[in-house]
Structure 1
Amino acid sequence: MDMKAVSAIQKFTNARPAAAIESYAQARPATEPTPEETPSVMESVGKVALDFAQTLQQSEETAKASMIGDADPHALVQALAQTELAVEAAVSVRNKVVEAYQEILRMPV
């Protein structure tokens, strides 16, 4: 290896950590949440419930359109897959909540 290549590699390896530290320092304030932007738990749960209901409604509309021949089969399969995923996620969350509630009931008072 010639000296120019070694020098360039050394400059690159020395400059890389410094650049990474600087970019992290600049990006860190952007990633910290501000108190006024943080939604409450009830707002988050309400948004999730609304998204779930909208997913079910869109899937139902696609299924109805498919039955009368207005939607292609691919759209129906995609809507059913989205509905299945949404229901599985809702059931998982419900199971975790029930499990946590049962753990609380088992705690000695």
Structure 2
Amino acid sequence: MDIRSTLVAQNYAANRTVTQPTPNAGEGLLAGAKDFISTLQQSENTAMASMTQGADPHALVQALAQTELAVQTAVTVRDKVVEAYQEILRMPV
């Protein structure tokens, strides 16, 4: 048996646990998505109430600002994910 293949197998076995997924890895992302959806729903409800029932215009402006911030955050996260994916594609194999 070649010594290089033995070293490769040992290194692979040593690093295998690093690449395995963790059971709770997606919870943070899931919580962020739920917060994003709830922010959009609250803003939509506030806008509907403002248009139909004459609710407080300040609440409408605040809801629109929260929605804008949530969308900007989602776009920033998406851009970072795409950038990371492109960087992975550029890695030599």
TM-score by length of 2: 0.73
Larger of the two Rg values belongs to structure:
1
- Quote the sequence identity (%): 72
For residues 29-69 of structure 1, give each alpha carbon's deviation from its aligned partner in whole angstroms, at most 9, with x where no partner exists: xxxxxxxxxx9221111111000000000000000001013
Q: Tell me which stretches of 4 or more aligned residues in structure 1 moved more than 2 Å.
A: none
The aligned amino acid for 1:90 is: A
Which whole-Å CA distance do the structure 1 matches of 2:60 and 2:92 have between them?
51
Equivalent residue in structure 1 for 2:44, among 41, 49, 60: 60
The 5 A counterparts of 1:9-88 are: 40-88=24-72
1:103 Cα deviation (Å)? 0.3
* Ranges in structure 2 where 5+ consecutive residues have no aligned partner: 1-22
Structure scoring higher RCO (CA < 8 A, sep ≥ 6) equals 2
The aligned amino acid for 1:69 is: Q
1:99 Cα deviation (Å)? 0.2
What is the RMSD of the two structures over their aligned residues, measured on CA atoms? 1.3
* Ranges in structure 1 where 5+ consecutive residues have no aligned partner: 1-38
Figure out how many residues of one structure are paired with residues of the other and give that number.
71
1:107 Cα deviation (Å)? 0.6
TM-score by length of 1: 0.62
